[in-house]
Homo-oligomer: A and B are copies of this chain.
Amino acid sequence: MKKVTIYDVAKECGCTSTTVSKVLNGKGYISAEKKKEIFDAVARLGYIPSTAAKNLATNKSQLIGVVLHDTLERNITNELFSKVLNSFRVEMELNGYDIVFLARKGNVSYLQKAVARGLEGVLFLCADYSNEGILELMNSPVPNVSLDFEGNDQSVTTNGKESIIELVDYLASCGHRRIVFIDTMESEVAHKRLEGFKEGLQKNGIPFDPRMVQKGEYFRNGVAEVEVNRALDSGIDPTVIIMPDDYTAIDAYRALRKRGLKVGEDISIVGFDGIDLSKYVHPSLTTIGQNTEEMGKAAAKLLLDNIKTGKKELRHISINGEIIYGSSVRNLNK
């Protein structure tokens, strides 16, 4: 079957491609009859406009790129990111954009790829911001938004500070005073969380003990055990450990079990993210749920706005997290 073009439609209707184009794009004034005639012909002929041609003519691709380039290589296999991406995608599609992954290929930089494809915007879903290629694209004129990274002018993040303050409030209300906080790599996000931790302690009259903050990492096979053991063996005798994410938290259960400790009884554990399984494990995990739905939507809106206005104002959107109360935190008052 030969491809039907705008000319075929035009011929069928005894007019030119100009008219067809106008009708299809709702531009200019065309008589009602002509419009109907054209729409009919389009349907009859099964005409489908070629985006490639349209792109070339308008210099718009209707394409948004997503960068996946985290050091851990977990990217969309991390439930958090896949959920945000999903919500972002839906919102973008509602606005007529398609989502394409920005490939990381040998000698071609991200920026080059983006320009080549004519991407109208880019989402850094998970990126290593120490990477030159990432930074180049971020600082280029291509509109872009970052998730969970405030180093970018445009970003969407969970309100980590407030969330942790709330969490400490809760822990304090349960009688916890020896709280270990696992602090991850240098990043604004981690920093904010730590700030929240300190502020939360102060707010609740708990003196800050630097030994209670221990360096750690996001989930990777084996880290949880190291983190947990160090916390328990450092002589600070914590009653609760705040892990940096749910996977690590759930893996911590295992490490604790190995030591003969019962989570939620002998020791309390808190996670971060709110992945599905946090509800199903035993004991169910107390964690800070990130509002992935809102985050994705907000990122999309922010990006759409940038694309439309062409401006790149400084805009950090902060979405509230929500404590999900499981049974991994013991109430010491009872």
Contact = CB atoms under 8 A, between A and B. Distances in A.
B82 A116 contact: no
Give the dominant DSSP class at A's interface: helix
Interface in A100-158: 100-105, 112, 115-118
A310 to B, nearest CB: 15
Q: How many copies does the complex hold?
A: 2
Interface in A47-83: 48-53, 55-56, 59, 61, 63, 75-77, 79, 82-83
A333 to B, nearest CB: 25
A79 to B, nearest CB: 6
Interface stretch (A19-27, A30-38, A207-215, A277-285): A277-285
A93 interface: yes
A222 B56 CA distance: 50
A300 interface: no
Of A89, A103, A251, most B-chain CB atoms within 10 Å: A103
A253 B282 contact: yes
29 contacts: A48-B112, A48-B116, A49-B116, A50-B56, A52-B52, A52-B56, A52-B59, A52-B61, A52-B118, A55-B55, A55-B56, A56-B56, A79-B79, A89-B101, A93-B103, A98-B101, A98-B102, A98-B103, A99-B101, A100-B101, A247-B277, A250-B280, A253-B280, A253-B282, A254-B280, A254-B282, A257-B282, A277-B277, A277-B281
Lowest 6 A-B CB distances belong to which pairs?
A: A52-B55, A93-B103, A100-B100, A76-B82, A52-B56, A77-B82
